[in-house]
Structure 1
Amino acid sequence: MASKMASCIFCKIVKGEIPCFKLFESDKTLAFLDIMPLSRGHALVIPKVHGEKLTDIPDDHLTEILPIAKKLVIATGAQEYNILQNNGKGAHQEVGHVHFHMIPKPNAQEGLGIGWPQQKTDMDKLKALFEEIKSKM
């Protein structure tokens, strides 16, 4: 884990080794502009503690994330926007440190484009899945 942290670009940003356009900082959270934005105002909100996936981050390091994303929405004036968090390469995660995107969607060309491949469901199978997940909550 130490070697992953040492090479992690977001950990380097947290430590001040790489500069960023810092929008917010607390003891547990950092928000900054994305340097390869999908639209004007595209920003990232990250926990300062290193973890590759959401399940690797302690709950108390996640409490500020959505309130900060909300402040970014207000500060940018975005009327339509996406809050996005990817886990794993197959789910389009590029940097192996948990990060949340706030991506303004000002028009059809800018911002996040999404495919939503809905699948038909069998209600009996859905009920069984519901019972399985609910029992583990």
Structure 2
Amino acid sequence: MSLDGTYDEGNIFAKIIRGDMPAVRVFEDDRLLAIMDVFPQSRGHALVIPKLSQARNLLEETPENAAALMLGVQRLAKACRAALSPDGIRIAQFNGEVGGQTVFHLHVHVLPVWDGQPIGRHGQTGMADLDELKALAERIAAKLS
């Protein structure tokens, strides 16, 4: 998919937001949803997704929603740091298929990283153990400010 197109109400994140698909939730408010990535590139890999938007990518988002999204990303990154003590945190956001985007609903990846531990490739890792994801989500959620 290119950078331009029509929003697909059937994308996985739209389904999760509507409650049609399950997800391991870290936090949720009226504007944002943070979930654990079921195909994590690193331990603690989570996503922040705007709930009120039909922007397929960052280029389509309103400034107000983009600002709220980035505040949520910062909040999640701080909680990941406090909960997991990584050596670094990678923040990633992809736009368009050629840019690496695989789900065409705006979202931002928060990946805790540790020195000497390689991270997996985006969209090419195996599915995580759901019990482990739930335990990580609880640890991260406990450190939210």
TM surpasses 0.5? yes
Q: Which moved more, 1:15-24 or 1:51-60?
A: 51-60
Deviation, 1:47, is: 1.1
Corresponding residue of 1:38? 41
Q: Which moved more, 1:92-101 or 1:62-71?
A: 62-71
Q: Which moved more, 1:67-76 or 1:20-29?
A: 67-76
CA RMSD, Structure 1 to Structure 2 (Å): 1.8
Q: For this pair of structures, how many residues does the alignment match? A: 111
Structure 1 vs Structure 2: percent identity of aligned residues? 33
1:66 to 47, 70, 73: 70
* TM-score (normalised: structure 1): 0.72
Distance 1:38 1:98 in 2: 18
Q: 1:112 to 1:66 in 2, by over 3 A?
A: farther
SS of residue in 2 equivalent to 1:62: helix
Q: Which amino acid in 2 is paired with 1:31?
A: A
**1 or 2, which has the higher helix percentage?**
1
Deviation, 1:112, is: 6.2
Corresponding residue of 1:119? none
Corresponding residue of 2:119? 111
* TM-score (normalised: structure 2): 0.69
Larger relative CO (CA 8 A, sep 6+): 1 or 2?
2
Distance 1:37 1:108 in 2: 17
SS of residue in 2 equivalent to 1:40: coil
Alpha-carbon contact 2:87-2:115 (below 8 Å) kept: no
Unpaired runs of 5+ residues, structure 2, are: 1-5, 122-145
Q: Which amino acid in 2 is paired with 1:30?
A: L
Unpaired runs of 5+ residues, structure 1, are: 114-137
